[in-house]
Chain A
Amino acid sequence: MNAYRTLRPAAFALGCTVVLAGCAGPGPRPDSELLSAASAIEQAEASQARQYEPVLLNQAQNKIADARELLDREEHDRARRLLHQAEVDAQLAGARSETAKARQAVDEINRNIESLRTQMNEAAQ
């Protein structure tokens, strides 16, 4: 019984450690996440996000930079989250750029059609 009593604080500490490990353990280095995020940035840039979505693209790049600093301090899990976010931020920047370009294409062809109609109306008179 006495043995159990002395063991009690140790057991409490053990429980704490188990939970702490689950909550903020170092985990493996997120190297593949780093690659994915960088490649998402490249794809966004290929979609001209630098021109159409510069703020969101910068946000994604800042997250990658922050993640690199966390990796230097071996805070792998926090770095991993930032890299996941950077990846989807960059993907969204690229997707919005593509939408913007498609919208421009719609406007352009509608202008073309309008000027064709005008030309035809003038020619018919």
Chain B
Amino acid sequence: MTLRTLITSATLGALVLLTGCAGAPKQNPVVDEAQILYDQIKNDPAVARSASTQLRSARKNLEEAQALLEDDADTSSVEHRAYLALRHAEIAREQGLRSELEAEVANAEERRKQLELQRKELELAQKQSELQRSAEEAEALRRRMEAMQAEQTERGMVLTLGDVLFDVGKADLKPAAERTIDRLAEFMRAYPERRVLIEGYTDSTGDEGFNQRLSENRAGSVRDALAANGVSPGRIDTRGFGEAYPKASNDNASGRQQNRRVEIVISDEQGNIQTR
């Protein structure tokens, strides 16, 4: 027995225990798993950009796990290091994913802003063309009214057919009224939502009952003429006012002539007419 054999014995004892303590093969599934994930993410630019600390921790723990494995350290030590390496690699991967998703959100936000801008422009353009269209419509209406010689009154647009368009003391329309009736019928076709109220009036000479009937019949004549021109009778109301509501004095001839008339009141777009 020499000192050398003693040392050999001590070393042997240590080795026996080390083998019992470690005994790990040079391959370990947890180390392999960590290695595979690390290899997957190490060249990922998003991970490099946003998770360099975690990536470094993953590599450090992986290298330690591999060194322990090489040194035949016990399996639990190796796997502990490998577990930490795997977790750091997983965290790095999540952080990389997150940064890519956040970049996607930022891009989408930019796209959304542009769309929002486009939508506003579109809305503005539509509003302008709507305004232009309604201005054009108003202008067309004005021209038609003008053509019919309708006047704007507090009851709306009113078209007046003078006494000269009727036979004296009768309800029949003279042929001269045709032009006015045609224009009114055309107007009614162009604005199907509008209605008319046809009102007959007389002067104060003669029998009141006769005047009442005359005013009703003259209004009826105008309705029939419109209906003959294709305007639905459902859109036409008639009333006779007789001597009521004179426009001028009944004391002189010219006043009386103004009072003998038929007024055609045109409704608003909703078909409403202000009745007397």
Contact = CB atoms under 8 A, between A and B. Distances in A.
Interface residues of A, number: 40
B141 to A, nearest CB: 27
A15 B69 CA distance: 22
Contact of A81 (B2, B80, B90, B122): B80
Contacts of A85: 80, 83-84, 87
Interface of A: 1, 4-5, 7-8, 11-16, 18-20, 23, 81, 84-85, 88-89, 91-92, 95-96, 98-99, 102-103, 105-106, 109-110, 112-113, 116-117, 119-120, 123-124
B38 to A, nearest CB: 14
Interface stretch (B102-110, B145-153, B175-183, B190-198): B102-110
B17 A16 contact: yes
A112 B17 CA distance: 66
Given A99-B101, A120-B115, 4 more contacts: A11-B13, A84-B84, A105-B102, A116-B112
A95 B41 CA distance: 16
User: Interface extent on B, as a size class?
Assistant: 35 or more
Given A14-B10, A103-B101, A113-B108, A8 B94 contact: no
Given A11-B9, A102-B102, A120 B122 contact: yes
Contacts of B157: none
Given A16-B17, A102-B102, A113 B80 contact: no
B115 A91 contact: no
B123 A123 contact: yes
A103 B99 CA distance: 11
A91 B3 contact: no
B130 to A, nearest CB: 12
